Amino acid sequence: MLDDFKSEILKGMSYFYTVTRYWQRFISCIDGRSILGKPISHYLSGFHNIRETFTKGRCVAWWKYINDVFLLWRDDLESLSVFHDVINTAHQSIKLTMTASLQEISFLDVLISRSGHGFQTHIFTKPTDSNQLLSYDSCHPPGVKRSIPISQFSKVCRITIDPCVWDEDLKIMSSKLLDRGYINHMIQKNKEMVQKKERERQKYKHRSQNQRVTFISQYNAFCNNCKSILYKHWHLLRDAYPFILDF
């Protein structure tokens, strides 16, 4: 009966019947994490146990967004396919689909590809995309409509890692905004403003990373003592690294 009860919750039912009592769902969550804690936690713990057992030493990253998961697999595609089959045995009515590639893959609106120095990311548009950006002819407040180009161009610059290829992705976004009725002058003005702002942010980011000295320690009962010692002798760091202005 418990398995049937969990199934009804995970399928999104509003009311559940168990023996002689009706239950109403007050909190909705796609993966059931926040719904009637104990039954759902029981199911999810079984799923995560399968994942932890099978992926030990292979799965180097597991990032989840609602009901989508992006993972980096340190093995061949055949073993990944086996893992996919295993996790689909966790529940008879919940099955996961999988897309895998050795060179390039999309996740939500991001295209991730391998390069000689790591990973490159770009804005990704699905072939079935119907351009749902807010129309400039809508009755929303003017301030909301003026903010759309800024937010979309900022999104492009944040997702696309290499500033050298911003122009290509920004051109695609400009075309989408034009299709939704936005004025070309507004689009170009906001695009240039965002590009300038993001390039300055990139320079500051690299400068901060190069000059930053990070102190990392394991938490314990003496952390406050370590903090006091650092504050007391901070001048030693400042004298030793005069080129770090933050000191």
Residue 42 pLDDT grade (very low, low, confident, very high; cuts 50, 70, 90): low
Average pLDDT across the chain, whole number: 76
Which DSSP symbol is given to 56?
Answer: T
Residue 57: partners with Cβ closer than 8 Å, 6 or more residues away: 74
pLDDT digits (tens, 9 = 90+) for 128-138: 888 889 999 99
Note the pLDDT of residue 60: 81
pLDDT digits (tens, 9 = 90+) for 112-152: 888 877 888 888 888 888 888 999 999 999 999 999 999 99
SS3 of 106, please?
A: strand
Residue 246 reports pLDDT greater than 80: no
Give the closest residue to 63 by CA, choosing from 92, 23, 105.
105
Alpha helix positions (H), the chain: 2-10, 37-54, 77-87, 142-159, 166-179, 184-211, 223-232, 234-240
Domains in the chain: boundaries: 2-100, 113-211, 213-247
SS3 of 237, please?
A: helix
Note the pLDDT of residue 33: 45
